Amino acid sequence: MTNGQINWMCGGSLLNDIYVITAAHCLESAVNGNYVVRVGEHDIRVQNGGQENIAVSRLRLHPSYGGQSRNFIHDIAILRLSKAVTFRSKVLPVCLPVVSEEPAAGTRCIVTGWGLMGKVQAVKLQQGNVQIISRSTCGTAPIAASQVCAGTVDGSVDACSGDSGGPLVCQNSTTRKWVVQGLVSFGPSAGCGIPRMPAVYTKVSFYVPWIKSLTANAV
Query: Of 74, 158, 163, 164, which residue is the catalytic one?
Result: 164
Cα separations in angstroms, 56 against 94, 150, 179: 19, 30, 24
- Whole-angstrom Cα distance, residue 208 to residue 218? 12
The answer to whether residue 164 is catalytic is: yes
N-term to C-term CA, the chain: 28
- Whole-angstrom Cα distance, residue 81 to residue 181? 22
Determine the distance from the C-alpha atom of residue 108 to the mean position of all C-alpha atoms in its chain, rounded to a whole number: 17
The answer to whether residue 74 is catalytic is: no
Query: Of 75, 146, 163, 205, which residue is the catalytic one?
Result: 75
The answer to whether residue 154 is catalytic is: no
Query: Of 25, 62, 74, 163, which residue is the catalytic one?
Result: 25
Sheet holding 52-61: strands in order across? 13-14, 19-22, 77-81, 52-61, 36-39
Cα separations in angstroms, 203 against 7, 38, 66, 112: 27, 24, 16, 16
- Whole-angstrom Cα distance, residue 58 to residue 63? 15
Catalytic residues: 25, 75, 164
